[in-house]
Structure 1
């Protein structure tokens, strides 16, 4: 059923006539996560994120601010194949994507976000999995910007080399269900590749690349982005009784 929904969304997006922008943005994403197990099935994550972007007519992916984020997550692992998650609070400071010189000095837009998701995985063969994640987000903006309800669906394939490292590839599509006009029903699409490594049982690094086709709400042109990211996770160890 989920694959049918994803197919319908993809067909709907492809039906919209978008123009592509010649300039491609190059961004760098960094995220630090403190993961705290509560029980065997429940954990909570605290995330800090910072993204940077290239300046107008520049190619330095660390040049200008793109985003600051603080986010909380609560996860419930029903079993090894089903995980539910709620983000009761997230704060985003979003800087404008630089498409002309004046964008570099614009003030950021502040956003509060509330999210819920379900992630399903199925083992296709030995250590090879298909993973589907569907999420619903409510985005509340400060100022006069209309709030948005956004749907996102990610389908990926993961191969576990062992308990310490794995690789995955996939695609995630974002759809605006409300708060925008019909032309901006499509928000953006992410094509990604990820390598995950745990040098210790309580430390994890994710390194990867995401290619994004984005339609900003104040634009009618598709913006293309190359994003290189590094995520660090520290897992707090539960004290033994």
Structure 2
């Protein structure tokens, strides 16, 4: 069986990456239940990207979007929220638009550390927990208590999570290097890259479930 890595490049505060992750999860589940699953094993790997590396530690989300994305126009903001809600609902996601935003460096640091030390399954659960907390509960994306709670949801002990989250130097140099590396090739997220025997296929933007399925099937067909 061919072992393929699916690299998902994201920022934990980007709604389009959340939608893409939900759709990719559905596509992977569909592929894994098909006869083609015997030819390829897909492992999800996460690469960090910061939409705004200079973002402050904390900002009111509604106000920040109003000022920085919608030019102070409340109607435009309402249209955006309605549009995103319509996209999210079929995926089982109840989006919230209130709460706090913040710099995501330490969220990425924690994800990358545990991806390296605990493996892809734990990293996947951690990403899902962070997404849900930010987009569906309105929680800050990188406060210590939020990161620790997400780690515990992912199966990491509270003691180990507290140590890694609390010591801001653990994994910091590594994640900064990875962010620099990723930013050389990526200027928008999400990006999904599927490795194949003959070629890699890269999809930019939040694609529909069927497009992810077709890509997984294409790689499988080329890998036999």
Higher Cα Rg, which structure: 1
Task: Give me the TM-score of the superposition, normalised by structure 2.
Answer: 0.26
Task: Give me the TM-score of the superposition, normalised by structure 1.
Answer: 0.25
- Larger fraction in strand: 1
- Larger fraction in helix: 2
